[in-house]
Structure 1
Amino acid sequence: MDRTALCTLGDIPPLSAHRRPIVKPLPDHLFTPHGASAETRWEAMAGQGYHTPNDRFFVGNHTTTPLIDAHSWRLRLHGDGLAGPRLVTYTELRKLPARTMDVAIECAGNGRSLFGAGGAGGASWGLGGIGVARWRGVPLKAVLALAGVRPDAVDVLATGLDDPADARGRVRHVVPLAKALDDVLVAYEMNGVPLPPDHGYPARLVVPGWVGIASVKWLGDVEVSTRPLDNPFGTGVTTPSVKSAFELPRPARIPFGQRHVLRGRSWSGAGGIAKIEVSTDGGRSWRKAFHRRGTRAWTPWHLEWCPREKGPGVLLARAVDHNGYRQPEITAYDKMGYLFDAIVAHPVIVE
């Protein structure tokens, strides 16, 4: 390959005549729309197994999903932290040794609308700005090795091929080199199939344990630098907080006097979940839920309940992660709506 003939991001035409912000269907029973983004309804996860199916995985877009031809796509590697520039084709990427990982992608603003009064900016996510998929791709470490990483490199800046979001330009995010060479993946498959357009086709970053903005979709450019790089789309946070959600509509209608199995999921960007408790009486008492052990992306759980009183009620769920962090009853307001982690009241009607 002629390394002197490297194209820039502007030389790669990613878009077709497509104009909708999101390509895949967004039926009301699966999604709540938020402009260019779409939130998964938690009741849509009932009975779906560990991974979020592609057709109901949330979409977090800054502008419009681009439609990119994998044959003309190139990943540009450059920067003074590399031995030299390099272009990587889709065919080359697919030939490199692959790895498969179960990883959660979660928007930093997941739960933003639950802060209540205060008017935090951004999409008004409930708790559905998260999904877990089985990602397959090439460790970023192996991709960067094609261009030779210098020993004095410190930062990696990944840029996507979607349209510029605002005056800041294209969506991009900085990952420290130590993290980039640890567990970051350049993914090309999602749940056993090529990445759908809304989820980054033909290739995206998957950054385990970090907020979703770091997992840049439609990856087109990676700069490796020997100096700290500017992070214009940085949120100021890296690790998602602990949360719990019921796989139920809001409000949920529960039959009176019948055995019912409450199901939900808890997660923490800092690691696995150690304990989940559920209250069916508005917090007056708590019971330990049965949960799947040894999972890191998120933890499914369940609890039997036979309601003895008709009328409206509230379900609560709280989790403790392996670091000992417990979901609080309330959480401090954040003006950007980031890292909501409080226990969420889930309304039910027993009838």
Structure 2
Amino acid sequence: MSPVPPSEAAYDALRLRQWSRGAARSAGIARRDLLRLVAAASAAAPLAPLLAPATAHAAAAAPGIVKPLPPEVFTVRGTNAETNFAALRGTGLLTPADRFFVRNHTVTPRIDATDWRLAVWGDGLAGPAVEFTYDELRALPSVTRTAFVECAGNARSYYTTQQSQQVSGTAWTLGAIGTARWRGVRLADVLRRAGLTRRAVDILPRGLDDEVVSDGIVLGRVRRPLPVAKALDDVLLAYEMNGEPLPPDHGHPVRLIVPSWVGIANIKWLGDIEVSTRPLLSPWNTGLYRLFGPGYPAEGSAPLTRQTLKSAFEVAPGAEFPAGRHQVLTGRSWSGGAPVRSVEVSTDGGTRWHRARLHDVPRAGSWVRWSAPWVPRTPGPAVLLARATDRSGRTQPAVAAPNTQGYLFDAVVRHEVRVV
């Protein structure tokens, strides 16, 4: 078994230094192309226009997504589908698969589990490559974890709409997240069965979706390295979601679940895992999924790992509330750093704050549902605010630190409604 390496922060700092001096190996792409990606990432570009309500409700499908996308539940954004947060009201702690957001780099592949194989290979193993069939994987001891999966760019549009900052990427609001109960096999068990050695430092899971092409550069299939320490900790090779086999859009037959980490680490449609004795680089931890801009090195920050702190109302934007009538506002808060400790709500744009009632026991890697009473008094526009504090003591700020690609927005979101 590999020894436990230093903390995530120390690992990130080490990888940043290795990337800067060219000491890490580029896996499946030329280093010159990685450098081109970094150069492109350092310059912000305008977001794709946010869909107007009429356009959003007319959208009923996205290229390459298999499941139905009813407009009252989803807003289609290119090859992706964002969950409208109001559609989560009353769904319970777990997000049903038919309401779970979809993040696709290309299109959803249709894979027959009976033909599927997982290859584990690389110089970090004691012997040759090892293959697992779907049935062999399911025959291993299983574990179940409740965890959210959230795109690193979730809430990206608020950099522009709230902070007037130009960023690039998909214009998510707050719906690029879902929480599910995942069942599968611990990645640690699979790696040990495959012959993991003490010399291994990185593993590289790779998906079976189509190769990604960006600005004329063939990036290859989606893949992103994980440190061995994380791989041996809480990572899951999941084959069930909320008690059912994974749906195609969510990784059938097997996907990675990396609790609390940014969504790109949770590779869908897993096909192979390289185990390496050298640090590994891919487009998804160099030009993509790093922080660029003022205050960051020219080569970007260390690769993104843990998600940040957020809150969202289960209320449609622009919703109307009758004056003088008692209301119960509901929402959800989550953090990748520590369980949520408390949530405060303001119904007057931030002048006064009141503690919300939590409806779930706060747990690492999951969200909590909350509610707060409100009797709106004065007709006209109103701004609802929700801010969470987690057990590390961190509270959502008023302003998020900018970066060119709009990752990890954590500021309090201004939710505009109307009293009639």
Category of TM-score, reference length = shorter chain:
over 0.9
- Match of 1:233, SS state, is helix
TM-score normalised by the chain length of structure 2 = 0.78
1: CA distance, partners of 2:112 / 2:193: 23
1: CA distance, partners of 2:67 / 2:402: 34
The equivalent residue for 1:140 is: 187
2: CA distance, partners of 1:66 / 1:183: 27
Deviation at 1:180?
Answer: 0.1
Deviation at 1:83?
Answer: 1.7
Give the counterpart of 2:362 among 267, 274, 294.
Answer: 294
Between 120-129 and 231-240, the greater mean CA deviation after superposition: 231-240
Q: Which amino acid aligns with 2:337?
A: A
The equivalent residue for 2:67 is: 24
The equivalent residue for 1:73 is: 116
Q: Which amino acid aligns with 1:71?
A: T
Following TM superposition, the consecutive aligned residue runs of length 4 or more in structure 1 with deviations greater than 3 angstroms are: none
The equivalent residue for 1:3 is: none
The equivalent residue for 2:243 is: 192
1: CA distance, partners of 2:63 / 2:352: 47
Deviation at 1:270?
Answer: 0.7
- Match of 1:198, SS state, is helix
- Match of 2:343, SS state, is strand
2: CA distance, partners of 1:249 / 1:294: 25
Q: Which amino acid aligns with 1:294?
A: P
The equivalent residue for 2:77 is: 34
**Which structure 2 segments of 5+ residues have no match?**
1-61, 290-302
Deviation at 1:310?
Answer: 1.5
The equivalent residue for 1:342 is: 411
Q: Which amino acid aligns with 2:140?
A: L
The equivalent residue for 2:39 is: none
Give the counterpart of 2:376 among 297, 304, 307.
Answer: 307
The answer (yes or no) to whether the contact 2:262–2:305 under 8 Å persists in 1 is yes
The equivalent residue for 2:100 is: 57
The equivalent residue for 2:305 is: 238
2: CA distance, partners of 1:201 / 1:120: 32
Give the counterpart of 2:385 among 300, 309, 316.
Answer: 316
The equivalent residue for 1:282 is: 349
1: CA distance, partners of 2:386 / 2:165: 24
Between 102-111 and 233-242, the greater mean CA deviation after superposition: 233-242
Q: Which amino acid aligns with 1:290?
A: R
TM-score normalised by the chain length of structure 1 = 0.93
2: CA distance, partners of 1:150 / 1:191: 34
The answer (yes or no) to whether the contact 2:341–2:362 under 8 Å persists in 1 is no
The equivalent residue for 1:98 is: 142
Query: Given the alignment of the two structures, is residue 217 of structure 1 paired with residue 268 of structure 2, yes or no?
Result: yes
1: CA distance, partners of 2:383 / 2:333: 18
The equivalent residue for 1:16 is: none
- Percent pairwise identity: 55
2: CA distance, partners of 1:253 / 1:145: 56
2: CA distance, partners of 1:130 / 1:88: 30
Deviation at 1:20?
Answer: 3.8
Q: Which amino acid aligns with 1:175?
A: L
Summarize the alignment of residues 170-185 of structure 1 with structure 2, pairs less than 5 Å apart: 170-185=221-236
Deviations 1:233-289 (A, max 9, x none): 121211111000000000121122111110000111012111110001111100010
Deviation at 1:295?
Answer: 2.7
**By percentage of residues, which structure has more helix?**
2
Between 329-338 and 199-208, the greater mean CA deviation after superposition: 329-338
2: CA distance, partners of 1:119 / 1:192: 41
How many residue pairs are counted as aligned between the two chains?
A: 334
The equivalent residue for 2:169 is: 122
2: CA distance, partners of 1:271 / 1:333: 23
Deviations 1:170-207 (A, max 9, x none): 00011100100110000000011000000000000000
RMSD, aligned α-carbons: 1.3
2: CA distance, partners of 1:288 / 1:100: 32
Summarize the alignment of residues 197-208 of structure 1 with structure 2, pairs less than 5 Å apart: 197-208=248-259
**Which structure 1 segments of 5+ residues have no match?**
1-18
The answer (yes or no) to whether the contact 2:381–2:418 under 8 Å persists in 1 is yes
The equivalent residue for 1:15 is: none
1: CA distance, partners of 2:72 / 2:169: 23
Q: Which amino acid aligns with 1:247?
A: E
- Match of 2:280, SS state, is coil
